[in-house]
C-alpha cells in the first residue's frame, strides 16, 4: 500500500487532546497556558474542578472568552485574545507577573512545541531560519520557573516529520524542562530512563506511535513494563518544591 493510500492514523482531536491534558491538572492548581492549542485546556476542565489560570501580561484568575459582542479590549490574554476575569481575580504589573513565574509560584504551564527531545529539551520558539521569530518571549522564563511543564502538540509535522526526537535541532527554549508530552496519539512521561508511553489515544497502537517518533520509547502502560517516575516528579512536581 502506498503512503498516499494508507488510512489516516486514529487519535485524539485537538479538543479531545485538550480534555486529556485537563484530566491531569489537579484541583486548586495555578496554571499558565501558552498560545494556540494550550488555550483549549481552559475550556476543557472536568466539571467541578477549580483551576486558577494566570496569564503573563498581568492577570491571575483568567476566565473563558466572553460572548461575541461583549469583549473588553483592555481584558486580553498573552496571545491578545479577549478573556474574562473570574470573581476574585487580581491584576498586576507585567514585572510582578514574571516574579510569580520566576519565583516558582505557578504549578503547571502547558505549552506548544516544534520539537521535544528524549531528555525533555524543549524547542518551541524558532526554527533558526532567517526571518524566524527574533526572540523567545516569556516561554524561557516559564520553563525555568514553573514546577511542571506539559507539552501539547501534534505527534508529527504536516509533512510527517517527528516532533518528538532524540535531540532537538531547533534553538532550545529550555534544556531538560519538560515533564510530560501530550500528542494526538499518546501521552508520554519524560523519565531519567527516556520517554515512557503511559496512555494511547483510541484506535492507536504502540507500533504506530513508535513509527512516528524519532527516538526510543518504553511502553509503560498498566500491564506492561514498569517505568520510572517522570524526571520532573521529584524536583518539579505539581505542588512540590522546585
Residues marked active site are found at 56
| Measured distance CA(60)–CA(98) in Å, rounded | 12
CA-nearest of 133, 130, 128 to 115 is 128
- Cα separation, 163 vs 204, whole angstroms: 17
Residue 172 to residue 127: CA distance in whole angstroms: 10
The DSSP secondary structure of 19-34, one letter per residue, reads HHHHHTSPTT-EEEE-
Q: Give the containing element (helix H, strand E) for 18.
A: helix 14-23
Amino acid at each position: 500500500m502506498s503512503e498516499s493510500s494508507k488510512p489516516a492514523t486514529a487519535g485524539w482531536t485537538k479538543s479531545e487532546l485538550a480534555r486529556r491534558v485537563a484530566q491531569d491538572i489537579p484541583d486548586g492548581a495555578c496554571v499558565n497556558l501558552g498560545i494556540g492549542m494550550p488555550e483549549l485546556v481552559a475550556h476543557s476542565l472536568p466539571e467541578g474542578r477549580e483551576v486558577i489560570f494566570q496569564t503573563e501580561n498581568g492577570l491571575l484568575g483568567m476566565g473563558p472568552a466572553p460572548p461575541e459582542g461583549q469583549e473588553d479590549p483592555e481584558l486580553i490574554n498573552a496571545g491578545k485574545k479577549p478573556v474574562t476575569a473570574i470573581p476574585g481575580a487580581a491584576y498586576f504589573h507585567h514585572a510582578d507577573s514574571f516574579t510569580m513565574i520566576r519565583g516558582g509560584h505557578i504549578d503547571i504551564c502547558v505549552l506548544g512545541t516544534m520539537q521535544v527531545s528524549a531528555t525533555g529539551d524543549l524547542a518551541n520558539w524558532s526554527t533558526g531560519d532567517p526571518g524566524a521569530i527574533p526572540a523567545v518571549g516569556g516561554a524561557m522564563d516559564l520553563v525555568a520557573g514553573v514546577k511542571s511543564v506539559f507539552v501539547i502538540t501534534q505527534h508529527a509535522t504536516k509533512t510527517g516529520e517527528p516532533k518528538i526526537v532524540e535531540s532537538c535541532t531547533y534553538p532550545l527554549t529550555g534544556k531538560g524542562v519538560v515533564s510530560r508530552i501530550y500528542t494526538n496519539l499518546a501521552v508520554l512521561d519524560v523519565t531519567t530512563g527516556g520517554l515512557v508511553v503511559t496512555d494511547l489515544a483510541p484506535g492507536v497502537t504502540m507500533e504506530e506511535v513508535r513509527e512516528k517518533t524519532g527516538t526510543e520509547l518504553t511502553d509503560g502502560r498498566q500491564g506492561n513494563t514498569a517505568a520510572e517516575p517522570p524526571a520532573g516528579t521529584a524536583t518539579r512536581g505539581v505542588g512540590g518544591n522546585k
